[in-house]
């Protein structure tokens, strides 16, 4: 259930509406925009049946929410959510680009990558300290040493860092280093992990699972938000189908569908979607045209020597060329790149 207040509602009226709803055993979530204020009612909506909500001072309209995800629903927000990341806002007018290697392999390579990414116009640095790998014999990251390297490189370059957390036992550790916590595709439905990162106010980058529907993704976001953390960014990174021409099938239609269903920012991962470096640029262009708020791109100084995902990583020159070409597509979509 959502309650839309009248224009000019006072704080006392707003507090009274919330107190009335919460007295019935529901929780309230307030979203204040420039032109309207929305109060979301979370809980057993049958308790509101027979309650004269329209008679409460300050209430304009009352609408039921039929979707299984409430807090993530577009109806629950007065305006699209914008999430700060360094000096930009994900979900704002500017297309935000997060770039870096799949894995943190060492200090020198990460610092070189971060400097090249920043020079080309990237807004944040990605890099995995803990890596989920299909084979237990593959390189699985440097762990806390990798987090220390990310922290040091952030101090040198000023780029905020985005890194993955894989386990509930790692949440506090990773959060003490990272500006944004990434939940990978394999963990999208790890509900204990989603609940744990929901305790924090740290922004969460939530990747769509390999076989997850759009509704599954939004319900995963709901887990995080239901714990009090509203700072969720959704990521379309391709799904598993019967197709074999690419690493995954890039579900381009999911981007405008998500923009229609949720107020949360949506970014795309063209690297994992295609699995090949020559597909990163065209998939990036398509994502921006479809309405994506940003991109997360894998960049490595020497892709052929990368410990993971070298085939889909851009070298420095390729990333610079990508960034130089993105501005035209951003402008065509009514957005900006780098201000």
Could you read off the pLDDT tens digit of each residue along the chain, which spans 339 residues? 899 999 889 999 999 999 999 999 999 989 888 878 999 998 888 888 888 899 999 999 998 887 889 999 998 888 999 999 999 999 999 999 999 999 999 999 999 999 999 999 999 999 999 977 777 767 677 899 999 999 999 999 999 999 999 999 999 999 999 999 999 999 999 999 999 999 998 999 999 999 999 999 999 999 999 999 999 999 999 999 999 999 999 999 999 999 999 999 999 999 999 999 999 999 999 999 999 999 999 999 999 999 989 999 999 999 999 999 999 999 999 999 985
Q: What beta strand segments (E) does the chain contain?
A: 2-5, 27-32, 37-42, 59-63, 83-85, 88-90, 94-100, 124-126, 161-164, 180-183, 204-207, 232-236, 266-268, 294-298, 336-337
As given in the structure block, the two tokens for residue 95 are 């297309």
Give the model's pLDDT for residue 33. Answer: 84
Residues in contact with 176: Cβ distance below 8 Å, sequence separation at least 6, in sequence order: none
Task: Please report, for the chain, the start and end positions of each structural domain, with discontinuous segments joined by +.
Answer: 2-64, 83-337
Radius of gyration of the chain (CA): 21
Confidence (pLDDT) at 339:
58
- Alpha-carbon 65 to chain mean position: 23
pTM of this structure: 0.90
Can you tell me the distance from the alpha carbon of 81 to that of 74, in angstroms, rounded to the nearest whole number?
A: 10
Task: Report the pLDDT value the prediction gives residue 210, as an integer from 0 to 100.
Answer: 95
Q: Which superfamily is assigned to 2-64 in CATH? A: Phospho-2-dehydro-3-deoxyheptonate aldolase; domain 1 (3.30.70.1140)
Collapse the DSSP code of 128 into the 3-class scheme (helix H, G, I; strand E, B; otherwise coil) and give the result: strand
Cβ burial, residue 38 (10 Å; 0-12/13-18/19+): buried
C-alpha 150/C-alpha 96 separation (Å) is 19
Query: What fold characterizes domain 83-337?
Result: TIM Barrel (3.20.20)
Pairing mode of beta strands 27-32, 204-207: unpaired
Could you tell me which residues come within 8 angstroms of residue 205 by beta carbon, excluding any fewer than 6 positions away?
A: 162, 180, 181, 182, 183, 233, 235, 267, 296
């Amino acid at each position: 259930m959502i309650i839309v207040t009248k224009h000019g509602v006072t704080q006392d009226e707003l507090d009274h509406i919330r107190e009335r709803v919460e007295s019935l055993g529901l929780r309230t979530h307030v979203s204040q925009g420039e032109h309207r204020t929305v109060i979301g009612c979370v809980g057993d909506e049958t308790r509101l049946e027979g309650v004269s909500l329209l008679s409460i001072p300050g209430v304009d309209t009352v609408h039921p929410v039929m979707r299984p995800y409430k807090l993530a629903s577009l109806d629950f927000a007065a305006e699209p959510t914008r999430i700060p990341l360094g000096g930009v806002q994900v979900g704002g007018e500017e297309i935000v680009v997060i770039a870096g290697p799949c894995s943190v392999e060492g200090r020198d390579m990460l610092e070189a990558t971060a400097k090249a990414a920043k020079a080309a116009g990237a807004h944040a640095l990605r890099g995995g300290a803990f890596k989920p790998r299909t084979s237990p014999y593959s390189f699985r990251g440097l762990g806390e040493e990798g987090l220390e390297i990310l922290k040091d490189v952030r101090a040198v370059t000023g780029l905020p860092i985005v890194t993955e957390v894989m386990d509930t036992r790692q949440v506090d550790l990773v959060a003490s280093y990272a500006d944004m916590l990434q939940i990978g595709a394999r963990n999208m439905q790890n509900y204990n992990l989603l609940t744990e990162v929901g305790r924090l106010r740290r922004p969460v980058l939530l990747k769509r699972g390999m076989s997850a529907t759009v509704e599954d993704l939004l319900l995963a976001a709901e887990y995080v938000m239901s714990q009090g953390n509203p700072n969720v960014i959704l990521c379309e990174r391709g799904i598993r189908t019967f197709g074999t021409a690419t690493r995954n099938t890039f579900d381009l239609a999911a981007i405008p569908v998500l923009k229609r269903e949720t107020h949360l920012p949506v970014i795309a991962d063209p690297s994992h979607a295609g699995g090949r470096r020559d597909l990163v640029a065209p998939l990036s262009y398509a994502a921006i045209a479809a309405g994506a708020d940003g991109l997360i791109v894998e960049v490595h100084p020497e892709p052929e020597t990368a410990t993971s995902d070298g085939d889909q990583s851009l070298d420095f020159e390729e990333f610079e060329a990508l960034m130089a070409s993105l501005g035209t597509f951003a402008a065509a979509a009514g957005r900006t790149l780098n201000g």
